[in-house]
Chain A
Amino acid sequence: MSVLTQSLPYLAKGALDTVVMAALAIAIGSVLGLGLGLAAGSRSTVVRGAIDAFIFVTRGIPVLVIMFITYYAFPAVGYRVSSFAAVTVALTLYAAAFYTDVMRGALAAVPRGQLEAARSLGIARIPTVFHILLPQAMKSSIPPWLNTSIVIVKSTSYAAIVGAWELTYAAKEIVERTLATFEIFGAVMAAYFIICYPMSLLSRRLEKRAAIVH
């Protein structure tokens, strides 16, 4: 047990890095996802196609590979960024692809009649989106948004493979040194669990509530 108590400060720092990485990716990714999700309603096939391609490619490859790409791409084009920054950029792009799909789906799921009612009143496209479609889409987008956020939090652990220091990396360091496998990894798993499980519960409760209404 004492290995764990001795390591707590070190692990806590790792946890902080993990939380910051996840928070940045989720926040920026969500904003991008909202913007691109709205753009996906565009009448231009070029815009829709580009967004489709972005989602398809980004979700079709492992997040670890995206992390490696950014990790080596930055220096290759002349920017010296920390591994933490490179990995966070990768995670943000990955998150954005998922969030875009969520928003796009939520907007499309608003009943057609709503759009027709707004159009027949003579309301222009942009006010229709912001005042009529978006408020209704937000509600249904929360469970999938939560599910995506859980995936992002878990994906921060891949940073350890790329070499960016965070909670999983710190845990591995300690275990390699002390072989206190169960205590250390157990504690770290508990840490991830404490962050993710409440989100999972909330998501399922909201989904159940939505199912009852219909």
Chain B
Amino acid sequence: MDWWLIKLRLIASIYPQMLEALGVTVTIAALSLPLAVVLGVVIAVLRMYAPKPVSALIGSWIEIMRNTPLLLQMFMLYFALPMLGWRLDGLYCGVLAIALQHSAFLAETFRGAIETISRRQWEASRALGIADSTAMWHLILPQAAVKVAAPIGNQLIILVKDTSVVSGIAVLDLTLTGKIILERNAASFEVFLVVASFYLALTVVLGLVVRWIENRTRAMSA
């Protein structure tokens, strides 16, 4: 009985720190995702429409980002940037690394969405005499945007879990904060069960949002 009370008291005492750490994790995710989406669009467009050598280079970059660990990419940035003269705070370094990796995955998603927009959509707009560039901006891209909404949501769920990587460069997110609390209070692994529950809560909420997006966009895609 005593044992449970001690556990509960511990959990209650760490909640303030945990909430702060939650803020850090959410901030990292909130900064990384838009950056990843923008970069992803740029990369996808370059991959599809740039001249051959550039497109091939981009393609190689995408494969490298997708097939090497995020932690390694982040270490590379963290150690390399100061050498190039940029002093980037750990948090922003993490945001950059996460955005870069996720932009590679999103670029492939975007490319797929644009390429599979039915050829008939192009034919219909050309038959109406609409210029290709106008069609792209007003007809194709909006459809592609609807198509990628749910995949972006799913990518966000993975991204939120990936934010834990910043523990490797001393950024006080949920994971690292958990470790520090454990070491300072000589507490046991239950601290990390609390950490896990926070991530799980984020995953559940985001999952519901994605489901809602999927339901709303289902009727709108051809």
User: In whole Å, how far is B161's beta carbon from the nearest beta carbon of chain A?
Assistant: 4
User: How far does the alpha carbon of A208 sit from the alpha carbon of B70 in the complex, in Å?
Assistant: 27
User: In whole Å, how far is B221's beta carbon from the nearest beta carbon of chain A?
Assistant: 19
Q: Looking at chain A's contact residues, is the secondary structure mostly helix, strand, loop, or mixed?
A: helix
Contact B67 A200, beta carbon cutoff 8 Å: yes
User: In whole Å, how far is B171's beta carbon from the nearest beta carbon of chain A?
Assistant: 12
User: From residue 164 to 214 of chain A, which have CB atoms closer than 8 A to chain B?
Assistant: 168, 171-172, 175, 179, 181-182, 185-186, 188-189, 192-193, 196-197, 200
Contact A69 B175, beta carbon cutoff 8 Å: no
Contact A68 B179, beta carbon cutoff 8 Å: yes
Contact B83 A161, beta carbon cutoff 8 Å: no
User: In whole Å, how far is A204's beta carbon from the nearest beta carbon of chain B?
Assistant: 10
User: How far does the alpha carbon of A155 sit from the alpha carbon of B188 in the complex, in Å?
Assistant: 24
Q: Which of B72, B73, B178 is A68 in contact with, Cβ under 8 Å? A: B178
Contact B72 A188, beta carbon cutoff 8 Å: yes
Given A154-B69, A157-B72, A193-B64, A61 contacting B80 (CB threshold 8 A): no
User: How far does the alpha carbon of A156 sit from the alpha carbon of B188 in the complex, in Å?
Assistant: 24
In the complex, A76 has a CB within 8 A of chain B: yes
Q: Which of A61, A64, A71, A168 is B200 in contact with, Cβ under 8 Å? A: A61
Residues on B with beta carbons closer than 8 Å to the beta carbon of A54 = none
Given A69-B192, A150-B67, A57 contacting B72 (CB threshold 8 A): no
Given A76-B189, A179-B79, A193-B64, A65 contacting B164 (CB threshold 8 A): yes
User: How far does the alpha carbon of A158 sit from the alpha carbon of B75 in the complex, in Å?
Assistant: 12
- The tally of residues in B whose CB lies under 8 Å from a CB in A reads 36
In the complex, B199 has a CB within 8 A of chain A: yes
Contact A172 B75, beta carbon cutoff 8 Å: yes
User: How far does the alpha carbon of A63 sit from the alpha carbon of B69 in the complex, in Å?
Assistant: 13
Contact B68 A154, beta carbon cutoff 8 Å: yes
User: How far does the alpha carbon of A76 sit from the alpha carbon of B179 in the complex, in Å?
Assistant: 15
- The tally of residues in A whose CB lies under 8 Å from a CB in B reads 38
In the complex, A160 has a CB within 8 A of chain B: yes
In the complex, B117 has a CB within 8 A of chain A: no
Task: Name A150's closest neighbour in chain B (CB-CB).
Answer: B67
In the complex, B19 has a CB within 8 A of chain A: no
User: How far does the alpha carbon of A146 sit from the alpha carbon of B73 in the complex, in Å?
Assistant: 22
Contact A68 B68, beta carbon cutoff 8 Å: no
User: In whole Å, how far is A185's beta carbon from the nearest beta carbon of chain B?
Assistant: 5
User: How far does the alpha carbon of A60 sit from the alpha carbon of B69 in the complex, in Å?
Assistant: 19
In the complex, B195 has a CB within 8 A of chain A: yes
Task: Name A57's closest neighbour in chain B (CB-CB).
Answer: B200
Residues on B with beta carbons closer than 8 Å to the beta carbon of A161 = 71, 165, 167-168
Q: Which of B163, B164, B189 is A73 in contact with, Cβ under 8 Å? A: B189
In the complex, B193 has a CB within 8 A of chain A: yes
In the complex, B182 has a CB within 8 A of chain A: yes
Residues on A with beta carbons closer than 8 Å to the beta carbon of B69 = 154-158, 168, 192
Q: 6 nearest interchain CB pairs? A: A157-B69, A72-B189, A196-B67, A62-B164, A60-B203, A62-B161
